[in-house]
Amino acid sequence: MLKPPLLKELSQIVGQANVFTDAEELVVYSYDATRVSSLPSAVVRPSSAQEVSDILRLANREQIPVVPRGAGTGMSGGSVPLQGGLVLSFERMNRILEIDEANRMAVVEPGVITGDLQRAVEARGLFYPPDPASQQFCTLGGNIAECAGGLRAVKYGVTRDYVLGLEVVLPTGEIIRTGSRTLKNVAGYDLTRLIVGSEGTLGVVTKIVLRLLSLPESVRTLAAFFPDVGSAAHAITAILSGKVVPRALELIDEGSLAAAGNYLKQDIAGGARAMVLAEVDGASQTTEREIAVVEQACREAGANSVTRAEEQADRDRLWKIRRSISPALYTIKPRKRSEDIVVPPARIPDILAQIQVIAKRHGLTIVNFGHAGDGNIHVNILLEDEEQSAAKLAEQEILAAVLGMQGSISGEHGIGFSKADYLPMETGAAALEAMKKIKRALDPNNILNPGKIFINAE
Ligand code: 2HG
Ligand code: ZN
């Protein structure tokens, strides 16, 4: 509990209506998509960088933890207030401030829903490519904190590739601006890239300058169904070694197909054991030719059937299936441990084969789906409570196999608290210490999102 004088100070900063302390309100801000929950002492809803700065000065003075929060859709616990303290919620800072068509840029506040920005720019013939599966709910501030990836990363890259500049409030209260409204900028250290993906541990983002592209003229989508996941994985590597760069290239295994089918109450696979979803974009003549190349690669790799989505409604149906997998998996067993591994894309068949061996050895149900085109697979261990220790062992073995292939333990969900135990395995001691030095320099009292990325920042 915060002492009444501190609550009064907070109310003076954001107004009494924007400070919540009632138990039922605190619960709403206590968890994210990991379904781990920890109550904050209070929730504050700032409306400006100045208010954020005043809150951080107060928190730093009183050494109170502060946890920035967008929509709470994160998969690694980034917005869970593990050590209590204040949740800083951005639902009031949700304006698209500017869409600059001439320079292909947008300026937004962190609470804007990603899908809302996409629609707003598309209405003007522009395009914001980063496309997390939760794009209808997640916020751009959260995307920046975790450096979200998503379905179109295989061709267009991830959030960091579109962030030109930021306004950031440091844990000690200073408001700084990073980057510029230009495509080029080598003036000093790249603080923009340091903040993107720092999981709300180094600063609080209050304004974002994003790069936009022009909207591709045409999009073609197909679904290919395979008798086993191995042939689907080989189709992906065959496509990647050809000349076509699809904008999305997703792999969905049998377990994920079944879960999505139950959840949406439809027969998706018609007996097939794996699906590849591919999408190309560009000029009309090009996409027509490219989708044919992708289809042929799928057939040569052993696809039993291939369906092209001709109408927008067909395309929407396919992507709805894909985006529903993550929530659908919760309906199979009470818990899921969601891995976010990424390997060099050509190693996808190898890592899937190794995961199968590990699942068998531990008697676990493991399903795999995701952004195989960029090497990023969501390995989900579905478990009952009594399977926790077997799952932990399997997780260690999977991550070791990934690192053995020069991959990474997290492609897009971040470390949060859920992968903090494993970060040293990937970075090594010296790089981990370099990261901690940065954290200590910017946040000497460790008030900003403590317990994330590092088990202990000291
Ligand atoms: C997705 O691609 C999300 O659907 C969630 O990143 C993945 O639940 C997961 O593991
Ligand atoms: Zn994903």
- Secondary structure string (H, E, C) spanning the chain: CCCHHHHHHHHHHHCHHHEECCHHHHHHCCECCCCCECCCCEEECCCCHHHHHHHHHHHHHHCCCEEEECCCCCCCCCCCCCCCCEEEECCCCCCEEEEECCCCEEEECCCCEHHHHHHHHHCCCEECCCECCCCCCCEHHHHHHHCCCECCHHHHCCHHHHEEEEEEECCCCCEEEEECCCCCCCCCCCHHHHHCCCCCCCCEEEEEEEECEECCCEEEEEEEEECCHHHHHHHHHHHHCCCCCCCEEEEEEHHHHHHHHHHHCCCCCCCCCEEEEEEEEECHHHHHHHHHHHHHHHHHCCCCEEEEECCHHHHHHHHHHHHCHHHHHHHCCCEEEECEEECCHHHHHHHHHHHHHHHHHHCCEEEEEEEHHHCEEEEEEEECHHHHHHHHHHHHHHHHHHHHCCCECECCCCCCCCCCCCHHHHHCHHHHHHHHHHHHHHCCCCCECCCCCCCCCC
- How many Å lie between the centroid of ligand 2 and the Cα of residue 367? 14
How confident is the model over 54-78, as a mean pLDDT?
Answer: 98
* Confidence (pLDDT) at 458: 85
Instruction: Say yes or no: do domains 216-318 and 333-444 share a fold.
Output: yes
457 has a pLDDT exceeding 90: no
At the second CATH level, the architecture of 333-444 is: 2-Layer Sandwich (3.30)
Q: Tens digits of per-residue pLDDT, 224-268?
A: 999 999 999 999 999 999 999 999 999 999 999 999 999 999 999
Take atom 8 of ligand 1 and give the residue whose Cα is closest: 326
C-beta of residue 443 within 8 angstroms of C-beta of residue 380: no
**What confidence tens digit (pLDDT) does each residue in 75-117 have?**
999 999 999 999 999 999 999 999 999 999 999 999 999 999 9
Q: Whose CA is nearest to atom 3 of ligand 1?
A: 133
User: For 278, how many CA atoms within 13 A lie in the half-sphere containing its CB?
Assistant: 30
Q: Ligand 1 pocket, 380 CB below 6 A? A: yes
Class of domain 96-214: alpha beta
Domain 4-89 in CATH 2.40.110.10? The answer is: no
Contact assessment for residue 303 and residue 347, using Cβ atoms and an 8 Å cutoff:
no
Q: Say if ligand 1 is within 6 A of residue 322 CB.
A: no
Q: Is the CB of 133 under 6 A from ligand 1?
A: yes
Percent of the chain at pLDDT above 70?
100
- d(CA 56, ligand 2 centre) in Å: 32
| Ligand 2 center–CA 78 separation, angstroms | 16
**What pLDDT shows up at residue 397?**
98
Q: How far is the CA of 76 from the centre of ligand 2 (A)?
A: 12
Residue 290 near residue 220 (C-beta atoms within 8 A): yes
Mean pLDDT over 336-358 rounds to 96
388-407 pLDDT, tens digit each:
999 999 999 999 999 999 99
Domain borders along the chain are 4-89, 96-214, 216-318, 333-444
In the prediction, which pLDDT does 1 show? Answer: 83
The string of pLDDT tens digits covering residues 162-192 is 999 999 999 999 999 999 999 999 999 999 9
Q: Which CATH class is domain 216-318?
A: alpha beta
pLDDT tens digits for range 356-379: 999 999 999 999 999 999 999 999
Which ligand 1 atom sits nearest the alpha carbon of residue 327?
8
Span 438-455, pLDDT tens digits: 999 999 999 999 999 999
